[in-house]
Amino acid sequence: MLPSVLRQRTCRNNKNALGRFLFMKTLYCFLGFFAFAQLHGQKLVKKALINPETEYIQIDSQHCYDVKLHTSNTKEVRVMASIEGEYSKDLLVNMEESGATMLISAGFQPNFSNPNDKLSAHKVISIALDIILPEYREVLVYGTNSNVLVNGKYKNLEVKLSDGRCVIDNVAETVEVTTQKGDILLMTSNGNIVAKSTYGKVLEENIPNGHNLYKLNTIEGTIRLKKTK
């Protein structure tokens, strides 16, 4: 039989071990939650009433890998930007008006220091934009590697990209898309379509003529025309 003093020490050691275990478990759970929050990223929403005299909207997607563009029967511009990774706190959305033009862009705070290594630079350029605009405006989207998805009603829509892919989903009224290597997908029920790929392919379905006008041009990309109901 163990002496009473030895039994008491053993009991205290077991309690201390249990306490340390519970503390470490709580700490790991907290660190795991913090890491998940960092991985999940940040969303930034910015809204602005558009002036009646504003006719043109330009969207600079240089720092964005994904851009979704919609229209609504509203007088408000709504931009939701999201970013993943450790630089989410430096995310910045700009909405500036100059005369009859509004410029929308996303980037980073002026004091942001861009890391030199390629891996970090790749992680930095990970901004996604979801933009809602008033209907029937003249809109220009320009960027390099951005993937652009557009639907809604525009007086005139122009998209200029380098390697990014562009999807035009039942857009009215006049659309012009130009890419260097990026593919173009047009989904529409009807329209007057002019599609040209210099070194790529044009894959088309039988789409009847209609009111909307689509001009699609690429140097090396593939253009696909898909009929919708």
pLDDT tens profile 154-203: 999 999 999 999 999 999 999 999 999 999 999 999 999 999 999 999 99
Locate tokens 């990309």: which residue? 221
Closest CA to 75 of 104, 44, 48, 46: 48
Non-local CB neighbours of 167 within 8 Å, separated by 6+ positions? 147, 148, 149, 150, 184, 185, 187
- pLDDT band at 91, cuts 50/70/90? confident
pLDDT over 70 percentage in the chain: 74
Does position 30 have pLDDT exceeding 80, yes or no?
no
Please tell me the predicted confidence (pLDDT) of residue 229. Answer: 86
Please tell me the predicted confidence (pLDDT) of residue 64. Answer: 92
**Which ranges in the chain belong to alpha helices (H)?**
4-40, 118-124
Does position 12 have pLDDT exceeding 60, yes or no?
no
Mean pLDDT, rounded, for 122-139: 84
Q: Are 186 and 224 in contact (CB under 8 A)?
A: yes
- pLDDT band at 92, cuts 50/70/90? confident
The phi, psi pair for 108, rounded to 5°, reads -130, 160
pLDDT tens profile 146-159: 999 999 999 999 99
- For 37-74, the three-class secondary structure string (H helix, E strand, C coil) is HHHHCEEEEEEEECCCCCCEEEEECCCEEEEEEEEECC
Per the document, the length of the chain is: 229
- pLDDT band at 61, cuts 50/70/90? very high
SS3 25: helix
Could you check whether the bond before residue 173 is cis, i.e. omega within 30 degrees of 0?
Answer: yes
- pLDDT band at 125, cuts 50/70/90? low
Please tell me the predicted confidence (pLDDT) of residue 8. Answer: 52
Alpha-carbon distance 139 to 127, whole Å? 20
Please tell me the predicted confidence (pLDDT) of residue 13. Answer: 52
Residue type at 205?
E
Domain ranges of the chain: 1-40, 42-227
Please tell me the predicted confidence (pLDDT) of residue 112. Answer: 67
Locate tokens 């140097």: which residue? 219
Alpha-carbon distance 41 to 132, whole Å? 21
Please tell me the predicted confidence (pLDDT) of residue 37. Answer: 37
Does position 16 have pLDDT exceeding 90, yes or no?
no
Closest CA to 192 of 207, 202, 180: 207
Please tell me the predicted confidence (pLDDT) of residue 15. Answer: 52
pLDDT over 90 percentage in the chain: 60
